[in-house]
Amino acid sequence: MSDVLRVDPIACEAHGLCAELVPELIEPDEWGYPIVAETPVPPRLARHAKRAVAACPALALMLVRQSRRLPAGEPEGAGLSETRGASASWPEEGR
């Protein structure tokens, strides 16, 4: 299983906060809209990615869990679940 970051382009308001919180995975375009890495979030950045999702004021940033590879012909979105905004959680720091 792996998580990938996704942005709802309709909801995004180009605050740029997410790119500041996890610049390794999100780069702002010339208007401030995020360009998100399509690669899975590496474990070393998982906490930062979850923090960026929780901090997004427009609830436009989400983590999508890819639970399995899709066989050919399976509809897009099958095997995915998402976490947005304040429902994103991260492990207690310092443990």
Interface with ligand SF4 (CB under 6 A): 7, 12-18, 34, 56, 58, 60-61
CA distance 22 to 29: 15
Give min distance, CB of 79 to ligand SF4, in A.
23
Question: 39 or 67, CB closer to ligand SF4?
Answer: 39
Question: 20 or 74, CB closer to ligand SF4?
Answer: 20
Give min distance, CB of 69 to ligand SF4, in A.
27
